[in-house]
Every structure is written in C-alpha cells, then in structure tokens.
Amino acid sequence: MTAKRQSVHGQWNSRWTFVLAAAGSAVGLGNIWKFPYIAGENGGGAFVLVYLACICLIGVPIMIAEIMLGRRGRQNPVMTMETLAQEEGTSTNWKYLGLIGVLAGFIIVSYYSVIAGWAVSYVFKSAAGLFVHDDPQVVIGLFGGLVSSAEQLLLWHTIFMIMTILVVVRGVKSGIERAVTLLMPGMFVILLMLVVYAMFQGSFVEGFNFLFSADFSKLTRASVLTAVGHAFFTLSLGMGAIMIYGSYLPANVSIVKAGFMVAAADTVIALLAGLAIFPIVFVNGLDAGSGPGLVFQTLPIAFGQMPGGIVIGTLFFVMLVFAAWTSSISLIEPGITFLIEQKNMGRGKACALIGVSTWLLGIVTVLSFNKWAFTFTFAGEEKTEGMFDILDILTTNIMLPLGGLCIAVFVGWKMSQASSMEELGLRRSNIGYQIWLFLLRFVIPVVLLIIMLKAFGILQGKS
Ligand code: TRP
C-alpha cells in the first residue's frame, strides 16, 4: 500500500467545508439561470425527470470518480493524472486529461464572468426600481440595452473578475473556505425566502405542476441530449474543478457520501430555483418557454408588477451573484494550482496571470453580443451569439464530455480495482461499488461519445 500522499496545497477544515465548497462550485448560473430556462423550453416535467436520471446514472458516478482521483493524486489535475497513471503502470499521457480540464476551466470562466456580470448589474437595476414600469417592453429593453453596449458589459465583467480573483488570491483556507462558508448559507437563505414568497404571491400549484408533472409527448431527442450535457455542467464535472477540491479532502472522509451530498444539494437547489421562478412567472401571465431571457427579461417584468418586487428582485439577483461567485472560484483554481505547482509561481503571480488572461479572453464574449455578433447553424440549431456560442459549444459539448469520458475510462479500465476500493473504502462485494463500476465502464462512455459525435455534427438526428 502506498503511503497517503500529503497535500502540498492545503486541506479543508472538515468534510463540511468540502461539501460546501463543492456544492458552491456546482450551484451556479447553471442552476438558477440555465436550468429553469431549459426546463421551460423543453416543456417542464418530462425533461426534469430525464435530467434527474442523468444526475443519478452519470453525474453521481463521475462525481465520485473525480473526487477520488483528486484525493489520491493530491496535486493539480495535470500532476494528479500523471502521478496516478504512473502508479497504475499506464501511459503518463493521461496528464493531458488534466490539461484539457485546466484549459476548459480557463475558457468557461472567461464567458461565465460576462454572464455573471449581467447578474451584478441587475442587482443595481432592481434596487434602483428600474423594473417598475407600466410598459413591459421597457423592462425587456433593459436587457437589450445592456448587451448591446460593449462598454457596459466590459465594466460588469471586470468587476466580477476582480471579485473572483480577490477570493482565490487568498488561498484555500482564508480565501475559498471563507467565501463559501459565508456565501453558500446566504444564498440558500435567500432562495428559501424566495420560494416562500412564490408560495404566497405566485401561482405555486401551476409552477409546481409545470416542474413535476411529466408530459412525455414534449420530450425530443434533442432535449435528452440537453439534459445529459446540463447534468455535467451543473455538477461541475469533467474539468478538474471537483478534482482539485477533492485534492484538499482529508483522508478520513467518505468520498461516496460526500459525492452524494454534493449532487443532492445541487439538484435540490435547481428545483427550488424552479419553484421560486415559475410561480412568479405564471401569476403574471408570462411565458415559461422564453429561453435565456427568462431570468433577465421575463422575471424582471414580474418583479416590477408584484408587491415588494424591488426588494425581492434585488435579493434574487444577489443570490444569483453569490451562486456564480462560488462557481467561478472553482473554475479558476485548477489553473492557478497548476501554475503554482508545475511552474513554481507564487499564488499572487499565478492569480494575476490567470486573472488578466481570462479577463482578456472574456472580451471576445463581451463583443459577441454586439460588435462581433454573427449567426451560424450548429447541429441544426441557429446560434446568434457568434463566438460566445462557439466557446460554449466547445466547452460544454466537447471538452467537458471528453474530460468525463477520460475519467470514466481511466477509473473504469486503467485503475486497478484494488486502488479504487481502497480509496473509496469499499469492498468488492459491495453492490453499490459494482453498479458504480459498471456505469463507468459501459454506460457512461457510450452516452458521452454520443454527445460528442452530436456536437461534431456527425450524428444529425431530427430533434
Ligand atoms: N456548475 C456551475 C454552474 O452550474 C458552473 C461550473 C463551475 C462548472 N465549475 C465548473 C461547469 C466546472 C463545468 C465544469 O453554474
């Protein structure tokens, strides 16, 4: 048995800090902005069921595998994969899995910060009472006004990027750990308040039924693929964010339990966000299927019409900012530890370098909503936001599934069962262990391959 590797880059205080940090990574724009609108576009209930199945059958097994790799390697994703591959007597080229992850995080955070910047600006718009207007078109126009102005987008993107760097520069304990222990409970309390508000002031039953009563006639093949992709994105899988957080996990914590807790927290929060949003949308006679504008256009109209709407609307966007903030930290941390450990940089310098370069790359997204906007067709769907859509497709549909596929193949086929059983603290006779291994070996690789082929346009199914 190899001696347990000591973490060179810090450790969480306890299991709870890990769960909070990983849940902080998982809960983000994906839960509060994206999940409600894709559920809305795909007809609600049936889509939600498929999404839940994806979380259980694909998300949880990969989550456990990724935490496990991180804790066993105890370094940044690149060196973790290199060390583990050596230990298992297989090719050290597996380190490129870590590298793809670091790169994917770098690209995602560049556009994530621009969208999170919208949320920051909406905190101020809401507090200033701008949603209170007789003409809904004016409220909708606020969004158009924001995204058509490169200067404004750049300003909010810059602010959010600085917020992110200010946390990671302080390191694991006084930076990330402190941020998540303050922001996550704060975010959750606000969410509960919003759900209670939606119960009393919204069409709660209608919202509830929309989310939970399944009408399978609305389900298409495209929506199934959307659900798989989203399960990945929402759990922060496939790029080393969960791996790096796993590398800070104390040796005596159960990875299986921690993995289940994170996935459960993420799912509950996405569903609660739906229960806060849809009742408010419906009571105002608005449309749940309005796409990406659901949170930034439809919801503000509703807030503008409702009692206490200024306060509730402001709280909503504060919650969205908190959620996005704890996610962007996790997107950027793998790259930073990579520079620290592999290139022997100080944390300050690594943060400055990554901060400035992701900020610069973010400008591509800033401009893709206005000056550089162009339209293209991808896998039969029309995309209107040029480079932003390309970066999103490249990461969500190609790099993350590829990362997940490699994790599944490495853990399922390359790593000895003795190693994984040791790290998870499970025996071969454990039925859960057998199911987990089966999913990683056979089911998950096939599903992820299909997603990627679809992204390359090789599988052109009708949707
Ligand atoms: N899961 C986050 C969300 O739902 C986004 C995120 C953070 C992420 N870290 C990630 C997505 C790593 C993919 C990979 O908003």
The answer to whether residue 380 scores a pLDDT higher than 80 is no
Determine, yes or no, domain membership for 354. Answer: yes
* Of 21, 9, 7, the residue nearest 350 (C-alpha): 9
User: Is the CB–ligand 1 distance for residue 239 below 6 Å?
Assistant: yes
Lowest mean pLDDT among 157-161, 197-201, 251-255, 369-373: 369-373
Q: Are 388 and 368 in contact (CB under 8 A)?
A: yes
Lowest mean pLDDT among 27-31, 170-174, 376-380, 448-452: 376-380
Q: What is the pLDDT of residues 155-194, one digit of tens each?
A: 999 999 999 999 999 999 899 999 999 999 999 999 999 9
Q: What is the pLDDT of residues 31-45, one digit of tens each?
A: 999 999 999 989 899
User: Is the CB–ligand 1 distance for residue 396 below 6 Å?
Assistant: no
Angle at 288 between CA 285 and CA 289, to 5 degrees: 130
Q: Place 458 in a pLDDT band, splitting at 50, 70 and 90.
A: low
Determine, yes or no, domain membership for 325. Answer: yes
CA distance 17 to 241: 15
pLDDT value of position 463? 41
Over residues 75-99, mean pLDDT: 96
Residue 383: helix, strand or coil by DSSP? strand
User: Is the CB–ligand 1 distance for residue 32 below 6 Å?
Assistant: no
pLDDT value of position 192? 97
Determine, yes or no, domain membership for 461. Answer: no
User: Is the CB–ligand 1 distance for residue 38 below 6 Å?
Assistant: no
Distance 108 CA to ligand 1 centre (A): 8
For residues 290 and 361, the model is more confident at 361
Determine, yes or no, domain membership for 143. Answer: yes
The answer for residues whose C-beta is within 8 angstroms of residue 135's C-beta and 6 or more apart is none
Q: What is the pLDDT of residues 114-160, one digit of tens each?
A: 999 999 999 999 999 999 998 999 999 999 999 999 999 999 999 99
| Amino acid, single-letter form, for residue 402 | L
User: Is the CB–ligand 1 distance for residue 241 below 6 Å?
Assistant: yes
Distance 118 CA to ligand 1 centre (A): 17
Q: Are 141 and 371 in contact (CB under 8 A)?
A: no
Q: Whose CA is nearest to atom 11 of ligand 1?
A: 236
Token pair for 324: 């996005």
Angstrom CA distances, 54 to 46, 226, 234, 447, stand at 13, 10, 11, 10
Tokens 């957080």: give the residue: 245
CA distance 386 to 368: 6
The answer to whether residue 1 scores a pLDDT higher than 60 is no
Determine, yes or no, domain membership for 463. Answer: no
The answer to whether residue 363 scores a pLDDT higher than 50 is yes
Strand extents, DSSP E, 138-231: none
pLDDT value of position 307? 92
The answer to whether residue 77 scores a pLDDT higher than 90 is yes
pLDDT value of position 8? 55
Distance 236 CA to ligand 1 centre (A): 4
Token pair for 11: 């450790």
Determine, yes or no, domain membership for 194. Answer: yes
Q: What is the pLDDT of residues 382-393, one digit of tens each?
A: 888 889 999 998
Taking residue 291's Cβ as centre, other Cβ atoms within 10 Å add up to 12
The answer to whether residue 379 scores a pLDDT higher than 80 is no
Determine, yes or no, domain membership for 238. Answer: yes
Over residues 277-283, mean pLDDT: 95
Q: What is the pLDDT of residues 240-276, one digit of tens each?
A: 999 999 999 999 999 999 999 999 999 999 999 999 9
Token pair for 369: 């909503």
The answer to whether residue 324 scores a pLDDT higher than 90 is yes
Q: Whose CA is nearest to atom 13 of ligand 1?
A: 236
User: Is the CB–ligand 1 distance for residue 330 below 6 Å?
Assistant: yes
Q: What is the pLDDT of residues 411-443, one digit of tens each?
A: 999 999 999 999 999 999 999 999 999 999 999
Q: Are 92 and 284 in contact (CB under 8 A)?
A: no
User: Is the CB–ligand 1 distance for residue 106 below 6 Å?
Assistant: no
pLDDT value of position 226? 87
Q: Whose CA is nearest to atom 10 of ligand 1?
A: 236
Q: What is the pTM of this model?
A: 0.94
Q: Place 222 in a pLDDT band, splitting at 50, 70 and 90.
A: confident
pLDDT value of position 5? 52
Distance 239 CA to ligand 1 centre (A): 9
pLDDT value of position 460? 56
The answer to whether residue 4 scores a pLDDT higher than 60 is no
User: Is the CB–ligand 1 distance for residue 331 below 6 Å?
Assistant: yes
Distance 166 CA to ligand 1 centre (A): 19
User: Is the CB–ligand 1 distance for residue 234 below 6 Å?
Assistant: yes
Distance 178 CA to ligand 1 centre (A): 19
Ligand 1 atom at shortest distance from the alpha carbon of 242: 12
H helix intervals, 248-399 = 255-283, 293, 299-305, 309-342, 347-368, 386-392
Give the count of alpha carbons within 13 A of 137, CB side only: 0
CATH of the domain at 215: 1.20.1740.10
User: Is the CB–ligand 1 distance for residue 397 below 6 Å?
Assistant: no
CA distance 241 to 250: 17
Percent of the chain with pLDDT over 90: 82
The mean of the pLDDT values for the chain is 93
Angstrom CA distances, 447 to 67, 344, 439, 451, stand at 21, 39, 10, 6
Question: How many domains, in total, are found in the chain?
Answer: 1
Distance 396 CA to ligand 1 centre (A): 10
Q: Whose CA is nearest to atom 6 of ligand 1?
A: 236
> Residue 154 sits in which domain range?
2-455
User: Is the CB–ligand 1 distance for residue 326 below 6 Å?
Assistant: no
Ligand 1 atom at shortest distance from the alpha carbon of 239: 14
Percent of the chain with pLDDT over 70: 96
CA distance 368 to 147: 9
User: Is the CB–ligand 1 distance for residue 420 below 6 Å?
Assistant: no
